[in-house]
C-alpha cells in the first residue's frame, strides 16, 4: 500500500512540476526592431529591459498560474490611488467615464499624461490597473484610465451599446477631453490586452488625432481576432477554458444591463434573440447573437476583421512598443509573427518578447510571494520614460544638435541586449542580431 501511495505522490509531483515548469530558467527578453537609435534611447532609460526577467521561483514560470493569479488575485498589497471620475455624455447618448489621476511623485520638465485603455470588461478599478497607476503617479506621470462602457457596476448604460473589440471612438472621446483640460500635455497611450488592440487600431485609423501623442505601448494583445478565435476554440493548452471565462464575463455585462440593451425596441431594431444571447457558449456565438448585429456587421468574420489592429499596423506612424509573452495561454506564440515583421520593417517601433509572464501577469521576485510591483509595472513606467526621451531627442528643435542617438559618453546598452532585426533582402524573413 505504501508503495502505491508513493507512486501516486510521485505522479502528482511530476504533474505539478510539469504544470509549474519549475525546471525553466530566467531569460532575457528578445527585442525586435530595426531602429537602433530608437531602441538605444529606450534602453538608456530602462536598462533592465535587456536583463533576464526573473519570475517568482515556485510558480512564476507557468503561464497558466501567472494568468490565473492575475485574473483572480491581481497584485500583492494593491494600493487604491485617489483620482477624479470624469463623466461624458456621447452623441449616441452613451455615458462614458474615465478616471483622472494627478502625479504625486517627482515633477518632470514635461507635462506627460499616460492615457490607459484596460483589457476586456476592465476599468480603473481593476487591480492591475490600480497598481500600475499608483506606480506611474509616483514617477511623476498623470494617468487617465478609460472605463469601458458597461463594465462599471456604478455607472448605468444609457445608450444602445456597450464596449466592443474594435470601437475606438470611446477612447478618442477621452483623448479629446484630455486635450481640452491639458492642451500642452504630451500623451503616451498604454493599452492592456484588448486595450492594446484598441490603441493600436486608433493610431492606425484614418481619423484626426492630436499632435500631442508621442508614443504608444501595447501589452499582451492578440493582433488578429480572426486567428485568435481559431486558437481559443481549441482545447490545446486549455485555451477553450479561458474562452469560456471571457464569454461568461462578456455575457454577464450584457445581461446586467439588459433592461437597456435588450429592451423590446432594440430587439426589433437589431433582430436580437435574448435566448441566443444567454445560451451562447463561446465568444463567436455571443458575437453572432449580439455584437455584430448591434455594430452593424453582416458576419462575425467582418466584425473581427474591422476590430483587429493587424489590419491597421502599417498605417501606424506614431512610435510604438509592443510586449507579449510566449507562454501566454490566451495569445499563443503563433500570433506573434505579424508584430515581429512590423517592427522589423518600420522605424521607431520595438517589440519585447518574453519567454514567461503569461497574460498580463509578469510577477517577479521571491520564492513563493512575488514582489508588490511587477516586472510589467516597472517596464511600462520605464518605456514611458524612454518614449519621452526618444521624442525629445528627435524633436525638430533639437534634431540638428543630437542626431537622435545616444552620445559616446553614455553606455552602449544595446550591446547587452538581444536585438533582432530582419534583413530586408532576406526573402526567408530570418532574424539576425544587430551588428555591433
Told to judge if 328 belongs to the known catalytic residues of this protein, a careful annotator would answer yes
H/E stretch holding 302 reads helix 300-307
Q: Which three cell numbers stand for residue 317?
A: 506612424
| Residues whose CB falls within 8 Å of the CB of residue 177, separated by 6 or more in sequence, listed in order | 86, 88, 98
For residue 69, what are the CA distances in angstroms to 66, 91, 354, 359, 361?
Answer: 5, 39, 18, 10, 8
Spatial distance between the Cα atoms of 271 and 288, rounded to a whole number of angstroms:
11
Active-site residue, selected from the candidate residues 35, 359, 377, 391: 359
How are beta strands 320-325 and 213-219 bridged, if at all? Answer: parallel
Spatial distance between the Cα atoms of 374 and 363, rounded to a whole number of angstroms:
5
Spatial distance between the Cα atoms of 287 and 290, rounded to a whole number of angstroms:
5
128-153 burial: b if 16+ Cβ within 10 Å, else e? bbbbbbbbbbebbbbbbbbbbbbbbe
285-303 burial: b if 16+ Cβ within 10 Å, else e? bbbbbbbbbbbebeebeeb
Spatial distance between the Cα atoms of 300 and 275, rounded to a whole number of angstroms:
18
Q: Identify the CA nearest to 316 among candidates 351, 352, 353.
A: 351
Spatial distance between the Cα atoms of 371 and 364, rounded to a whole number of angstroms:
6
Active-site residue, selected from the candidate residues 193, 307, 308, 309: 193
381-415 burial: b if 16+ Cβ within 10 Å, else e? bbbbbbbbbbbbbbeeeeeeeeebebeeeeeebbe
DSSP state of 349: E
Distance of CA 90 to the CA centre of its chain: 25
User: Are the C-beta atoms of 146 and 117 separated by less than 8 Å?
Assistant: yes
Active-site residue, selected from the candidate residues 328, 344, 356, 377: 328
Q: Identify the CA nearest to 384 among candidates 148, 4, 115, 176.
A: 115
Told to judge if 257 belongs to the known catalytic residues of this protein, a careful annotator would answer no
Strand partners, 87: 97
Residue 85: Cβ-neighbour burial (10 angstroms; 0-12, 13-18, 19+)? middle
Told to judge if 416 belongs to the known catalytic residues of this protein, a careful annotator would answer no
User: Mind telling me the catalytic residues?
Assistant: 193, 328, 359
Amino acid at each position: 500500500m505504501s508503495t502505491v501511495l508513493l507512486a501516486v505522490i510521485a505522479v502528482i509531483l511530476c504533474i505539478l512540476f510539469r504544470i509549474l515548469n519549475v525546471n525553466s530558467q530566467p531569460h532575457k527578453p528578445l527585442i525586435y526592431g530595426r531602429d537602433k537609435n530608437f531602441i538605444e534611447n529606450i534602453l538608456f532609460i530602462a536598462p533592465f529591459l535587456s536583463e533576464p526577467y526573473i519570475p517568482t521561483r515556485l510558480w512564476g514560470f507557468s503561464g497558466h498560474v501567472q494568468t490565473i493569479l492575475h485574473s483572480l488575485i491581481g497584485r500583492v498589497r494593491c494600493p487604491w490611488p485617489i483620482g477624479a471620475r470624469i463623466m461624458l455624455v456621447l452623441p449616441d447618448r452613451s455615458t462614458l467615464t474615465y478616471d483622472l489621476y494627478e502625479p504625486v511623485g517627482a515633477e518632470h520638465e514635461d507635462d506627460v499624461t499616460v492615457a490607459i485603455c484596460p483589457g476586456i470588461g476592465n476599468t480603473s478599478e481593476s487591480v492591475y490597473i490600480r497598481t500600475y497607476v499608483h506606480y506611474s503617479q509616483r514617477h511623476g506621470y498623470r494617468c487617465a484610465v478609460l472605463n469601458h462602457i458597461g463594465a462599471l457596476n456604478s455607472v448605468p448604460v444609457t445608450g444602445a451599446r456597450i464596449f466592443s473589440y474594435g470601437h475606438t471612438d470611446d477612447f478618442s472621446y477621452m483623448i479629446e477631453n484630455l486635450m481640452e483640460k491639458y492642451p500642452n500635455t504630451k500623451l503616451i497611450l498604454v493599452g492592456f490586452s484588448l486595450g492594446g488592440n484598441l490603441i493600436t487600431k486608433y493610431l492606425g485609423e484614418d481619423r484626426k488625432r492630436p499632435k500631442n501623442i508621442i508614443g504608444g505601448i501595447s501589452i499582451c494583445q492578440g493582433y488578429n481576432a480572426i486567428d485568435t478565435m481559431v486558437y481559443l476554440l481549441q482545447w490545446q493548452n486549455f485555451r477553450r477554458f479561458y474562452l469560456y471565462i471571457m464569454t461568461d464575463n462578456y455575457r454577464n455585462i450584457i445581461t446586467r444591463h439588459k433592461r437597456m440593451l435588450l429592451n423590446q425596441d432594440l430587439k426589433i431594431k437589431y433582430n436580437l434573440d435574448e435566448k441566443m444571447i444567454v445560451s451562447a457558449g463561446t465568444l463567436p456565438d455571443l458575437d453572432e447573437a449580439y455584437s455584430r448585429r448591434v455594430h452593424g456587421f453582416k458576419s462575425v468574420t467582418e466584425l473581427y476583421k474591422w476590430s483587429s489592429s493587424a489590419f491597421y499596423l502599417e498605417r501606424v506612424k506614431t512610435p510604438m512598443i509592443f510586449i507579449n509573452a510566449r507562454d501566454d495561454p490566451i495569445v499563443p506564440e503563433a500570433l506573434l509573427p505579424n508584430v515581429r515583421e512590423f517592427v522589423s520593417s518600420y522605424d521607431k517601433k520595438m517589440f519585447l518578447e518574453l519567454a514567461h509572464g503569461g497574460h498580463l501577469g509578469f510577477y517577479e521576485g521571491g520564492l513563493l510571494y512575488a514582489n508588490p510591483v511587477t516586472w510589467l509595472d516597472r517596464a511600462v513606467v520605464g518605456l514611458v520614460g524612454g518614449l519621452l526621451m526618444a521624442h525629445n531627442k528627435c524633436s525638430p528643435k533639437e534634431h540638428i544638435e543630437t542626431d537622435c542617438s545616444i552620445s559616446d559618453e553614455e553606455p552602449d546598452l544595446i550591446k547587452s541586449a538581444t536585438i533582432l532585426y530582419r534583413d530586408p533582402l532576406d526573402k526567408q524573413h530570418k532574424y539576425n542580431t544587430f551588428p555591433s
